[in-house]
Structure 1
C-alpha cells in the first residue's frame, strides 16, 4: 500500500525550527519553490496495493533520488548516513530531527517497483518543462558518450574460453538483460568474450581508452546523451553495455531528442567517435548540418568519394 507522509511539527523539538536553520540562499530552497515533487504519487499509485504495510511516501523517495545526483553522493548507503547530519536535507525531505530515516533499500525497491517506463516519463516531463521555460532551443545539439564503471570490483572478473563464458552467462540469466538486448544495436560486436564479471554479468569488461583513464579493462556501461546548445539541458539519453560504440547511437539519440522537445533538429555537433561515413550519409539525407571530426584519414577519403 502506498504511504503518504504527513509533515507535522514535532511536539518536543527543543525549540529548533528547521525552517530557520536553513539559509535563505540554500539551493534546496529554490528547488522546493519551483518543483512540486508530489506529482509522483499519481504516476505510481497503481503500482501499489490497497492493503498491507505502508511504503515510504513516493515523494520522499523521488527527493532522495534527486539528492543523490544533485550532490553526487557516492552511494545510497552514504546518503542515508549523512541525512541526519544535514539540516537542509531534513528540511527538504520534510523530516524532523527525531524522524527515522528510511533504509537505503527503499530506493532499489522503488526502482524495481516503478520500472523503466515510469522513469522515462519523469525524464520526458523534465525536458518538456525546460522547453516551456525557454531553456531548450531544440535546433542544435551536442552529442557524446561517457563510460560508467559498474558497481563491481575487478576481483569479480573471471577469464576463461568463450564457450565457458557463454555457459556462465546462461547460468546467470544474462539473456534477460537489465538493458536492451545488444542484438538490437547496428554493427554490434561484443568485446572481451573471454571475460565476465560474476557480480554484474550484464556489464561487459572493456577498457576506457580516453586520456586520463587507467587503461585497465573493467565491467562498464556507457551513457549516451544529447545536450541542447542554448542552456546545456540534456534532452535525450540512453544507457547501453560498455562496448556499444557511440556512433551506433547517433540516430536513435537524434530521434529521441526531436520526440522529446517536439521541434525539428538542424545541427549536430560531435567528436570523432561519431564522424563515420554512414553517419555523415544518414544525416545528410535528413538535411542536418554536421560538425563532426571525420576521425581518421580513411574516413576522410571515403567522404570525398561520396
Structure 2
C-alpha cells in the first residue's frame, strides 16, 4: 500500500538529537576532534568589558569564520542565510533548531574589535594544535602565491603618466607599503606606475599574465602548505606587484616559528626559480625543488606584434605578415571581445 506523507509543521521537537543527524565520517566531526576552539575565549577576553550588552560567543564567531572560508561561501550575509538550513553547520556551532542565528554584522564587528595581531595569534595557535595532533611534519613544504582581486571596481582606475599618478597617489594619501623599502625593480610592476584606483590606492593594478586581459587592482596572498596533510602553516598578504620569490625566506622563517620544526625542502613553481632563491635556501640547508625561471624575452624573439596583423573587414579576419588568416572562433558577450585563431596546421 502506497503511503502519502502530510507535511505539517511540528509544534514541539523534544526528541531531535542533532548529534545523530550528522553522519559519523562528516569532515566537521574530524575538525572538532582535532581542534579545540575553546582557547579563543581566553585570547580575546581583554577586548571585552565587564558590563553592558552581552556579545555573541567568540568561539561561535570563529567557527562561523571557519565555515565562511571552508565552505567557500560568497559573503557573510549568505553564510547567515544558509546556517539555519544546514543541520551539520548548526551542530558544528553548537546550536539547536530553535536557536537564533547572529546577524552578519557580528563578524565584521569582531574583526574590528580583536585586531589583526590577535587573528595572527589565533592562526598560530591553530597551527600548533595541528602539530600536536600529528597533522604537520614540517620538513617538506609547498609554497605558492595567488592574486586576489581588491574590492575596487575597474571603473575606479585612472590612467596617466608616471608623474601624474605619483601626484594623485600622494593626494589620495596612499600609505607606503612596508615591503616597498629596498625592493628591487623586478619585484615591482611597471603598470602600477601609470594606473591608480581611486577607491583603493594601496592596491596596485596588475594582470594575471600576458594573456589574462587587462590589469585591475589586486593584492597577493602567499602561503606555505605542509606536505603531510596539506595544513597551511604560514601566510602573508602583500601588494599584488610583489614578486613571489621575495617572500621565500620570510615564509620559511614564519613556518619554522609557527610549527617549531626545521624545514629541509621547499617545493614551488618556476615563479620562484631565481638564482638568489636557490642560493638563499641552500645556505640555510634547505633543498629547493623549483624549476628554473625561463627568460620570457627570449621566447618573444622573432614573434609578430599585433600591429603587424592586417584586418580584412570583408571576411572578418586578420591576416598575419606571411599571409595566413585568423578567423573568429568564439565570442565573449560579457567581455565584449572575440577570439581570432589560425588553422591548426599553421
Tell me the equivalent position of 1:223.
221
Gaps of 5+ in 2: 1-10, 297-346
Gaps of 5+ in 1: 1-11, 299-306
Shift in alpha-carbon separation, 1:22–1:139, aligned structure 2, 3 A: closer
Q: CA deviation at 1:243?
A: 0.8
2:183 alignment partner, one of 161, 186, 190: 186
Alpha-carbon distance in structure 1 between the residues aligned to 2:29 and 2:294: 49
Alpha-carbon distance in structure 1 between the residues aligned to 2:275 and 2:125: 35
| Higher mean displacement: 135-144 or 239-248 | 135-144
Equivalent residue of 1:182, what SS? coil
Equivalent residue of 1:273, what SS? helix
Describe the superposition over 1:232-276 as per-residue Cα deviations: whole angstroms up to 9, x where unpaired.
Answer: 222211111111110111111111112122222222222211111
Task: Trace 1:223-302 onto structure 2 (pairs within 5 A).
Answer: 223-296=221-294
Tell me the equivalent position of 2:31.
31
TM-score normalised by length of structure 2? 0.74
Tell me the equivalent position of 2:87.
87
Task: Trace 1:167-206 onto structure 2 (pairs within 5 A).
Answer: 167-175=167-175, 181-184=178-181, 186-187=183-184, 188-191=187-190, 192-206=192-206
Equivalent residue of 2:60, what SS? helix
Q: CA deviation at 1:278?
A: 1.4
Larger RCO, structure (CA 8 Å, separation 6 or more): 1
Describe the superposition over 1:203-233 as per-residue Cα deviations: whole angstroms up to 9, x where unpaired.
Answer: 21110118xx742312211111122222222
TM-score normalised by length of structure 1? 0.83
Aligned positions, number:
282
Does the aligned pair in 2 maintain the 1:237–1:253 contact within 8 Å?
yes
| Higher mean displacement: 106-115 or 245-254 | 106-115
Alpha-carbon distance in structure 2 between the residues aligned to 1:224 and 1:83: 30
Shift in alpha-carbon separation, 1:266–1:25, aligned structure 2, 3 A: closer
Does the aligned pair in 1 maintain the 2:127–2:258 contact within 8 Å?
yes
Bigger Rg, structure 1 or 2: 2
| Higher mean displacement: 81-90 or 246-255 | 81-90
Does the aligned pair in 2 maintain the 1:158–1:198 contact within 8 Å?
yes
Alpha-carbon distance in structure 1 between the residues aligned to 2:31 and 2:231: 16
Q: CA deviation at 1:110?
A: 1.0
